[in-house]
């Protein structure tokens, strides 16, 4: 069981060190973290910067639901995820996931689960601004999203 | 009834506003999207959208009530 499962949207830079420290537990022997950074290219285009926007109330509740699912599926001690909103530059920290657990296996698996589910399910959208002056909202179109 | 509709990402760009009050007689979210798509020319088919009513995921067939907040969400791209 987790005693910390917290999802946060942040318009300000994410303090990864503080979030990581908050995952410490006396019974936790492993901590796995994932950092998603803004990179300078996507799908063959040179990216200058990007904006994230979220439907905040549902992003928060769906993010919390994903963390709760992770704590049911994996033997973890604590889990946390923070996602930026607003304007970001190349190299900025866009999303952070941290999981502590008694052992490393569950921590790795839960961390992977959380970032994968956040990318699939949480209502956050990315607008990429390209070097050629164009910009565009990304709406991945490989699968229908209706359930 | 009067509904509040919020728009995000490409749908906000296409609507030209991030929110609007809509007076309508449609019964459910599917009917509302058809009405708003005709007005704003939204590119995305309903099959690619998810619906939220009052901050929670909802079915397209969910009945709408006066004062509801409705969001049509295009495929997400966080992370």
User: CA-based angle A139:A145:A146, to the nearest 5?
Assistant: 140
Supply the CATH number for residue A51's domain. Answer: 3.90.1170.40
Is residue A108 a part of any domain in this protein? yes
What is the DSSP pairing of strand A5-10 with strand A76-84? Answer: parallel
Q: How far is B74 from chain A (nearest CA, A)?
A: 6
Is residue B38 a part of any domain in this protein? yes
Residue by residue, DSSP assigns A48-95 as: EEEEEEE-HHHHHHHHHHHHHHHHHHS-EEEEEEEEE-EEEETT-EEE
The stretch B33-59 carries a mean pLDDT of 96
Cα separations (Å) of A73 from A60, A93, A126, B23?
Answer: 20, 27, 29, 44
Is residue B78 a part of any domain in this protein? no
Is residue A145 a part of any domain in this protein? no
Residue by residue, DSSP assigns B40-69 as: H---S-GGG-EEEETTEEE-TTPBP-TT-E
Q: How far apart, in whole angstroms, are the C-alpha atoms of residue A8 and residue A21?
A: 16
ipTM of the complex, rounded to two decimals: 0.95
Q: Is A125 in contact with A138 (CB distance < 8 Å)?
A: yes
Is residue B68 a part of any domain in this protein? yes
Backbone angles phi, psi at B67, to 5 degrees: 90, -5
Structural domain including A49 reads 5-136
Is residue B65 a part of any domain in this protein? yes
pLDDT at position A145, please? 42
Q: How many domains does chain B have?
A: 1
A125 touches chain B (CB under 8 A): yes
Helix H, strand E, coil C: the string for A85-96 is CEEEECCCEEEE
Supply the CATH number for residue B27's domain. Answer: 3.10.20.30
Backbone angles phi, psi at A39, to 5 degrees: -105, 165
Is residue B45 a part of any domain in this protein? yes
What is the pLDDT confidence band of residue A146, given thresholds at 50, 70 and 90?
very low
Is residue A125 a part of any domain in this protein? yes
CA A23 to chain centre: 16
Is residue A141 a part of any domain in this protein? no
Residue of A7, A52, A123, A136 to mutate, interface with B, max B Cβ within 10 Å: A123
User: What does the radius of gyration of chain A's CA atoms come to, in whole angstroms?
Assistant: 16
Chain A residues with CB-CB distance to B6 below 8 A: 55
Is residue A143 a part of any domain in this protein? no
Nearest CB among B49, B56, B79 relative to A146 is that of B49
pLDDT cut 70: percent of chain B above it: 100
A147 touches chain B (CB under 8 A): yes
pLDDT at position B40, please? 97
Chain A residues with CB-CB distance to B60 below 8 A: 146
Q: Is A77 in contact with A104 (CB distance < 8 Å)?
A: no
pLDDT digits 0-9 by tens, A114-123:
999 999 999 9
Is residue B79 a part of any domain in this protein? no
Is residue A146 a part of any domain in this protein? no
pLDDT digits 0-9 by tens, A61-84:
999 999 999 999 999 999 999 999
Structural domain including B7 reads 2-73
B44 touches chain A (CB under 8 A): yes
Q: How far apart, in whole angstroms, are the C-alpha atoms of residue B9 and residue B41?
A: 15
Is residue A14 a part of any domain in this protein? yes
CB contact under 8 A, B56 and A61: yes
pLDDT digits 0-9 by tens, A93-145:
999 999 999 999 999 999 999 999 999 999 999 999 999 999 999 998 754 44
The residues, ordered by sequence, that sit 6+ positions from B23 with a Cβ below 8 Å of its Cβ are B1, B2, B3
Question: Does pLDDT of B11 surpass 90?
Answer: yes
End-to-end Cα separation, chain A, in angstroms? 29
Cα separations (Å) of A1 from A26, A84, A102?
Answer: 14, 27, 11
Q: How many domains does chain A have?
A: 1
CB contact under 8 A, B55 and A58: yes
Q: How far is A111 from chain B (nearest CA, A)?
A: 13
Is residue A113 a part of any domain in this protein? yes
The stretch B9-14 carries a mean pLDDT of 95
Mean pLDDT of chain B: 96
């Amino acid at each position: 069981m987790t005693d910390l499962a917290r999802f946060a949207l942040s318009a300000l830079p994410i303090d990864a060190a503080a979030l990581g420290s908050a995952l410490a537990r006396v019974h936790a022997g492993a901590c796995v973290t994932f950092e998603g950074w803004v990179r300078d290219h996507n799908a063959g285009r040179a990216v200058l910067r990007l904006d994230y926007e979220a439907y905040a109330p549902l992003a928060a509740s769906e993010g919390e639901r994903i963390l709760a699912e992770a704590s049911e599926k994996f033997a973890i001690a604590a889990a946390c995820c923070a996602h930026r909103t607003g304007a970001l530059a190349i190299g900025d920290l866009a999303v952070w996931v941290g999981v502590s657990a008694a052992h490393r296996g569950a921590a790795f698996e839960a961390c992977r689960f959380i970032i994968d589910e956040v990318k699939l399910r949480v209502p956050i959208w990315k607008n990429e601004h390209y070097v050629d002056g164009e910009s565009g909202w990304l709406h991945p179109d490989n699968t229908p999203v209706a359930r | 009834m009067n509904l509040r509709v919020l728009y995000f990402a490409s749908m906000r760009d296409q609507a030209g506003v991030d929110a609007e009050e809509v007076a309508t007689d449609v019964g459910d979210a599917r009917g509302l999207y058809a009405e708003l798509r005709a007005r704003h020319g939204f590119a995305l088919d309903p099959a690619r959208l998810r619906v939220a009513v009052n901050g929670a995921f909802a079915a397209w067939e969910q009945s709408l009530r006066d004062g509801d907040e409705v969001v049509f969400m295009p495929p997400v791209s966080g992370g």
